[in-house]
């Protein structure tokens, strides 16, 4: 297989979009790692995501349970399930991420964002936006949701990284040992949390999930553990990278940056275009359940499909001038949070966190710029965002 078709090569991780364009031109192709079949065109991606009978979410579960990892509850979680089990589990947890729940959370998120902005602007010279702001906002919000002690929050990002990087498929033996220990400690953390909330319920998400539903049915311990494992990377990585990718994009488009800093009302449309142009979620995996044909290509039963969401969002057949960032692009349906039965439960929360975080930050900034032209991107097949983002900040009211 040509090296150019390796999704995890350093060149591709630095800039995957030329490879995505090549795949859209040539159609469905096998790629590395693992000889997976890459689905890159918008219409084909929608077809796969809407058909859990032929394209099972168990494929995503396979990616999160490599042979060297004896146990990983996320591999049996909601996002790895097909109907009817998926339908029951999703219905049970969906209300915890609805508009009413988010309305209660909004002032708390705004307070966290305001505090992080004040701390960020205390720095002189350049500051790493990732470690000082983008990381802390979703981690603190998730800690708030779960009812964790504040001192436990910093560990959440490392656990989320270890989970989201599993499908990359390249872990040397020493890294395998570290990840096994990391996920064991995560499971212990959640075991203690569940035990505490059973004994003393509160008003957090875990306490809500432990209560019976309207029919008196309760989630099993394994279902609860799997949901919490899946919530961690979904609740942290998506928002961290959405915040960071937004600032990366604006750093490269000074006219749009000036417009948004002057008019925060543009933030919702800015975020929608960033979600299309430089989305935090780049791919998902599906397992082919029967010999099937897609766009003239035969996919054998048992083969693994990598669904390239980020490629579909640059599909020139669907988005005019697709490789160009356009702040004023007419809003249309996109796939940044998935499609079909597995549309992201936390999409509203991610949008809310990103908007409130950027509102707080931009209200105190006259301008910002990158302190380094070079970026190093997370080694993940599933998600995309920079490992660090050093910025020079120009506050609206400079410190005396």
The domain 3-395 is placed in CATH, from the list 3.40.50.11540, 1.10.630.10, 1.10.8.80, 1.10.3720.10, at 1.10.630.10
Q: Give the pLDDT confidence of 59-69 residue by residue, as tens digits.
A: 666 777 788 88
Q: Give the pLDDT confidence of 182-195 residue by residue, as tens digits.
A: 889 989 999 999 99
Q: Is 90 exceeded by the pLDDT of residue 367?
A: yes
Q: Give the pLDDT confidence of 60-93 residue by residue, as tens digits.
A: 667 777 888 888 777 776 566 556 655 566 666 6
Residue 92 pLDDT: 66
Residue 1 pLDDT: 55
| 336-360 burial code (b ≥16 CB/10 A, e <16) | bbbbebbebbbbebbbbbbbbbbbb
Closest CA to 344 of 253, 280, 262: 280
Residue bearing the bigger pLDDT, 211 or 273: 273
For 273, the 3-state DSSP assignment is: helix
Residue 82 pLDDT: 58
Residue 339 pLDDT: 72
Q: Are 236 and 265 in contact (CB under 8 A)?
A: no
Q: Is 70 exceeded by the pLDDT of residue 95?
A: no
The overall average pLDDT reported for the chain is 87
Single pTM value for the model? 0.89
Residue 329 pLDDT: 92
Q: Is 80 exceeded by the pLDDT of residue 167?
A: no
Residue 241 pLDDT: 94
Confidence of residue 164 (pLDDT cuts 50, 70, 90): confident
């Amino acid at each position: 297989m040509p090296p150019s078709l390796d999704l995890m090569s350093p060149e591709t991780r630095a800039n995957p979009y030329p490879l995505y364009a090549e795949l859209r031109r040539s159609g469905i192709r096998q790629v590395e790692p693992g000889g997976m079949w890459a689905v890159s065109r918008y219409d084909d991606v929608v077809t796969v995501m809407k058909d859990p009978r032929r394209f099972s979410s168990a494929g995503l579960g396979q990616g999160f349970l490599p042979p060297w990892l004896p146990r990983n509850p996320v591999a049996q979680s909601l996002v790895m399930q097909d109907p009817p089990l998926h339908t029951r589990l999703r219905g049970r947890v969906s209300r915890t991420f609805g508009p009413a729940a988010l309305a209660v959370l909004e002032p708390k998120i705004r307070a966290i964002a305001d505090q992080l902005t004040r701390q960020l602007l205390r720095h002189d010279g350049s500051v790493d936006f990732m470690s000082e702001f983008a990381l802390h906002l979703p981690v603190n919000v998730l800690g708030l949701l779960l009812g964790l002690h504040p001192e436990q929050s910093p560990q959440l990002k490392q656990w989320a990284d270890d989970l989201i990087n599993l499908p990359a498929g390249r872990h040397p033996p020493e890294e395998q040992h570290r990840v096994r220990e990391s996920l064991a400690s995560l499971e212990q953390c959640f075991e203690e949390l569940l035990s505490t909330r059973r004994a003393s319920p509160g008003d957090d998400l875990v306490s809500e999930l432990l209560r019976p539903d309207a029919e008196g049915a309760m989630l099993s311990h394994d279902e609860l553990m799997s949901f919490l494992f899946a919530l961690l990377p979904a609740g942290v990585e998506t928002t961290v990278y959405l915040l960071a990718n937004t600032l990366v994009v604006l750093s490269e488009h000074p006219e749009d940056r000036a417009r948004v800093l002057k008019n925060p009302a543009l933030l919702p449309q800015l975020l929608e275009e960033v979600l299309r142009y430089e989305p935090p979620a780049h791919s998902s995996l599906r397992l082919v359940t029967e010999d099937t044909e897609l766009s003239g290509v035969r996919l054998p039963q048992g083969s693994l499909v990598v669904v390239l969401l980020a490629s579909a969002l640059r599909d020139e057949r669907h988005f005019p001038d697709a490789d160009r960032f356009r702040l004023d692009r007419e809003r249309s349906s996109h796939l940044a949070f998935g499609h079909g039965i597995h549309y992201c439960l936390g999409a509203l929360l991610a949008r809310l966190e990103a908007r409130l975080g950027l509102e707080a930050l931009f209200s105190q900034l006259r301008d910002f710029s990158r302190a380094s032209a070079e970026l190093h991107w997370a080694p993940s097949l599933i998600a995309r965002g920079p490992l660090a983002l050093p910025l020079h900040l120009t506050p609206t009211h400079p410190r005396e």
